[in-house]
Chains A and B, each alone.
Chain A
Amino acid sequence: MQDAKQAIFDYCKKRGALAVGIASLEACERIAPAGHRPSDLFPRVKSVISLGVGGQTQGTWQMPAKAMAYSGSTETRAYGVAYGLAFHIEQQFGAPSVYVPPDLDPEGGPRVPLQSLKLHAELAGIGARSLAGDILLHPEYGFMYYASVFTELELEPDAPMAENPCPAPSCVSMYRQIGRTPCMKFCPAQCLSGEIDAQGKQKLMRYDMAACAELTQEYEAVPKILAEAVKDEVRSQGAEGLLDPDRKMLWYKVSAGSGAWFAQCFECMRVCPIATKAPQADPVLRSKD
């Protein structure tokens, strides 16, 4: 079992994953709501593999906010590694496996995923929930994108991280002074709030996902914009409703499948010391170790 696990880790890291872990299937099944458990997707699942792919370079965090989403496309690289891993396990170990689609549940609306990749990663010990709306952070790798594979191969689960890197000491210091951490203060949607206890640990995290989604989830804006455009069409009796610059940008993204499609706000991460100063986030530096 250990050999298989090491082989899987080696495969993932060779293809660019920064972190790999095995989540407890039992915990996943117990925590995820009905319809979103691993067994709901893959009934004979024995193991949940989670992997994380690194985020931006140091320089990326200096880019204009509107350009951030186009930089990296790291989530698709994570998906690519996981997709290959599923084939790899089947070929090497003969165990049926699935790449877990990172997509939304068509029955659940635009904010409900088929599976919580975040839950898998947290239970696999490769990320811990932050005050920034539960975005997972890793003390070595910072802010990552995650992907999962379900397999019938039995693998020994890892434990969640022993310590949560969030809040960082500098964030605790800021909180002590103004009652807010950088992510709370600089969120353009002001969707974050919370408390830090006397030991400098997370006490309370509040996240207004609806407010966050207005800024970040453009796919949700499409039907709304279309509805507005139709109203404008009627008012203007012309094509202005569909062709104003904002709307044309969306049609472009729809037709081109362009980046910045799922999320395009990184302001909480831009001010996060863990995300931006993660010592092992740089793959070039990492390769020298």
Chain B
Amino acid sequence: MTREQLGITEAMLATFGETVFQMSHNLQTREGDPVRRLDWVEIERQREAMGLADGQIAERLGLTREQVMFIRNSEESRRFRIGQTAYLLDLGGGRRYRPERVVRLEDRFSYSEDALRLRGAFRFDAELARRYVERGWWRDDTLPGWLSSHSKTRPDAPALIAGQVISWRELEERVLRFAEGLRRAGVARGEVVAVQLPNTPEFVIAFLAICRLGAVMSTLHMPYRGAEIAALLKHSRAKLGICLPPSKNLFNDIGRAFAEIDCAEPLSKDVPGPVAADPFLLLYTSGTTAAPKGVPHNYHTMLSNARLGVPEHRLTASDRIVSAAPFTHLFGLYELHCAFACGAASVLLPAFTPPDLSALIEKEKPTALWTAPAHIAAVRAQGLFDKHDWSSLRLAIMSGSACPPPLVRDFSSRVKDCAVTQLWGMTETQGALYTRPGDALEVHCSSAGRPSPGTEVRIADGELQVRGCLLFPGFYDNDEANAAAFTADGWYRTGDLAAVDAAGNYSITGRVKDIINRGGVKFNPRDVEDLLDSHPKVLQSAVVPMPDPILGEKACVFLVLRNKEEPVRLEELTEYLLQKNIAKNKLPERLVIVPDMPLTPTRKVIKGKLKLPE
């Protein structure tokens, strides 16, 4: 029978629905045990409380039995909630229902539109993914999982050293409290939280807490200000920004200081943690030649690379690692990832200065150092190797920019028992190539080493191309960049020029985009720059193409002088280069003196920002 046939209207449902439901057997009350006792008086008295049949309800309400039946069914269906059986999934085998433990499946989490959009960027080649899993490269590693494991197995071992020592147990406790604060601030699973903090415990705690919630961290380099921050927040769709108190105004209304988020209560253990396929990082490329591009990573890519790298770097739980690179850069994060992978302690250097790094190494005696060539060059320039004790170091990993062989050689000679290695990586890959402790000094000096476990590299048309378990899935929300960045067979075009020797060691020789095409003759200006950097009047050089109406492009050199009082002329430089047997077509044909170079956080020159004066 249809509603129309029965004369049921919405008004009738609204009027009688609740009453019919209450009078029906849906809600039953029984006093004593009247049926078993055949207590007829009580049976009749309680008949209504035990629930009436539809016909009996119809008599009470002045409706037809069919109308009551329809109204009751409609009301039951309206109230009925599906998915209740999920309550049963955690019960049995000795586990009983406890209301405080119950989180309905649909209440556990749901992904926002922004979170789903980011998750949509994680598409890997199915065959490769299967291979990574089969080989054990991808497994269910997460940072909260590693933290929890260290907290259980080595609770009192140091996790962070930053003035005070923070143990793994304390770190986990602080992470859970901050995670609860983030949850209360409205951060949900899969959402992006921007972080602009120096290398402090607060950074590490915020990072791990974001991960514990299943959210995604997007780092902002410390020098970034209004326009840069606004652009990245907009692109990442960040829900919240965690920063130093004076910077809050740069984040509009989503900026929060660490202390504003921190919470006295820990996050409930019932809040599910992330799994390895979940995104946890959205980083932006250092943008040496173009506008920043969003690089998403999940735990699979990043932590497989770190876990497999730890034995290659010969790191163990007893190591103490310091990073001169900022944690807002992936090279800095690689230090944390490796430390978390093996349970090593991280010695925190809030912000690099040559004296601070030198003093910290002398005081805290780290065994491993993550550093850029420019850091070491600056320490050396200030004579700090002679003033401080660097003898605790057993491993140094240099990365971030091209490593001049003399610098490696010199650094190695100053830290006798330390393996000074090189690492080549990108935001898109983390550690893709590196030399290993035990390699000959010349290998460390002249190359970036061999592929990390799980990484494949090849050179095509002079360009280094990468794929493997470490490789990001593609730029976030940037189809144009992705179309240009990947080959048809799935290799990532790094944009770096490389060569490989007979032993399989790769050396990075320049950037594809730095190639200068002078009248059809292309050349890589890297060797010119290396020679210019050795000129006594030159502190740093960068050779870039400049337009030419006849030849198409010519070379222009930007220089930072070692001493402003000692200027240099173009002719002086070209004569110097010719003495060093540089081909004439590679000679710079214009000189621009600049007070300093635009640098990435790892001290790499951002050539795209070098503008020719009018």
Asked whether B30 lies within 8 Å of A134 as measured between CB atoms, the reply is yes
Q: Determine how close the nearest CB of chain B comes to the CB of A40; give it in whole angstroms.
A: 11
The chain A residue with its CB closest to the CB of B102 is A188
Chain B residues with CB below 8 A from A112, complex form: 25, 53-54
Q: Determine how close the nearest CB of chain A comes to the CB of B51; give it in whole angstroms.
A: 8
- State which of B31, B37, B97 has its C-beta within 8 Å of the C-beta of A204: B31
Chain B residues with CB below 8 A from A185, complex form: 97
Asked whether A63 lies within 8 Å of B93 as measured between CB atoms, the reply is yes
Asked whether A65 lies within 8 Å of B92 as measured between CB atoms, the reply is yes
Asked whether B77 lies within 8 Å of A264 as measured between CB atoms, the reply is no
- State which of B33, B52, B54, B72 has its C-beta within 8 Å of the C-beta of A128: B33
Chain B residues with CB below 8 A from A205, complex form: 28-30
- State which of A67, A109, A221 has its C-beta within 8 Å of the C-beta of B92: A67
Whether, in the assembled complex, A207 has its beta carbon less than 8 Å from a beta carbon of chain B, the answer is yes
Q: A129-B33, A164-B36, A210-B79 are in contact. Are A189 and B92 (CB under 8 A)?
A: no
State which size class the interface on A falls in: 35 or more
Chain B residues with CB below 8 A from A161, complex form: 36
Chain A contact residues: over half helix, strand or loop, or mixed?
mixed
Q: Determine how close the nearest CB of chain B comes to the CB of A69; give it in whole angstroms.
A: 9
Asked whether A128 lies within 8 Å of B30 as measured between CB atoms, the reply is no
Whether, in the assembled complex, B252 has its beta carbon less than 8 Å from a beta carbon of chain A, the answer is no
Which of B33, B37, B96 has the most A CB atoms < 10 Å from its CB?
B33
Tell me, in angstroms, the Cα distance from A270 to B88 when the chains sit together. Answer: 12
Tell me, in angstroms, the Cα distance from A283 to B45 when the chains sit together. Answer: 40
Q: Determine how close the nearest CB of chain A comes to the CB of B198; give it in whole angstroms.
A: 45
Asked whether A221 lies within 8 Å of B82 as measured between CB atoms, the reply is yes
Q: Determine how close the nearest CB of chain A comes to the CB of B124; give it in whole angstroms.
A: 22
Whether, in the assembled complex, B81 has its beta carbon less than 8 Å from a beta carbon of chain A, the answer is yes
> Interface-forming stretch among A73-81, A211-219, A234-242?
A211-219
Whether, in the assembled complex, A123 has its beta carbon less than 8 Å from a beta carbon of chain B, the answer is yes
Whether, in the assembled complex, B38 has its beta carbon less than 8 Å from a beta carbon of chain A, the answer is yes
The chain B residue with its CB closest to the CB of A215 is B84
- State which of B26, B35, B96 has its C-beta within 8 Å of the C-beta of A111: B26
Q: C-beta contact mask, B23-58 vs A, less than 8 Å → 1, else 0?
A: 001111111110111101001000000011111100
Asked whether B27 lies within 8 Å of A210 as measured between CB atoms, the reply is yes
Chain B residues with CB below 8 A from A210, complex form: 21, 26-27, 76, 79-80
Whether, in the assembled complex, A248 has its beta carbon less than 8 Å from a beta carbon of chain B, the answer is no
Whether, in the assembled complex, A42 has its beta carbon less than 8 Å from a beta carbon of chain B, the answer is no
Whether, in the assembled complex, B73 has its beta carbon less than 8 Å from a beta carbon of chain A, the answer is yes
Whether, in the assembled complex, B583 has its beta carbon less than 8 Å from a beta carbon of chain A, the answer is no
Tell me, in angstroms, the Cα distance from A215 to B81 when the chains sit together. Answer: 9
Asked whether A110 lies within 8 Å of B35 as measured between CB atoms, the reply is no
Whether, in the assembled complex, A64 has its beta carbon less than 8 Å from a beta carbon of chain B, the answer is yes
Tell me, in angstroms, the Cα distance from A111 to B52 when the chains sit together. Answer: 12
Chain A residues with CB below 8 A from B520, complex form: none
Whether, in the assembled complex, A103 has its beta carbon less than 8 Å from a beta carbon of chain B, the answer is no
Asked whether B54 lies within 8 Å of A202 as measured between CB atoms, the reply is no
Whether, in the assembled complex, B246 has its beta carbon less than 8 Å from a beta carbon of chain A, the answer is no
Q: C-beta contact mask, B98-122 vs A, less than 8 Å → 1, else 0?
A: 0100100000000000000000000
Q: A33-B56, A186-B96, A214-B84 are in contact. Are A207 and B28 (CB under 8 A)?
A: yes
The chain B residue with its CB closest to the CB of A62 is B93
Asked whether B92 lies within 8 Å of A68 as measured between CB atoms, the reply is yes
Asked whether B35 lies within 8 Å of A34 as measured between CB atoms, the reply is no
Asked whether A34 lies within 8 Å of B53 as measured between CB atoms, the reply is yes
Asked whether A214 lies within 8 Å of B80 as measured between CB atoms, the reply is yes
- Going nearest first, the 6 A-B pairs with the smallest beta carbon separation are A33-B53, A64-B92, A65-B91, A65-B92, A188-B87, A65-B88
Which residues of A line the B interface, CB within 8 A? 27, 30-31, 33-36, 62-68, 107-112, 119, 122-123, 128-129, 133-134, 160-161, 164, 185-190, 201-210, 213-215, 218, 220-221, 223-225, 228, 246, 264-265, 267, 270-271
Beyond A62-B92, A209-B25, A265-B85, 12 additional pairs, beta carbon < 8 A: A65-B89, A66-B92, A107-B69, A160-B37, A164-B36, A201-B32, A202-B30, A204-B29, A214-B80, A221-B82, A264-B88, A265-B88
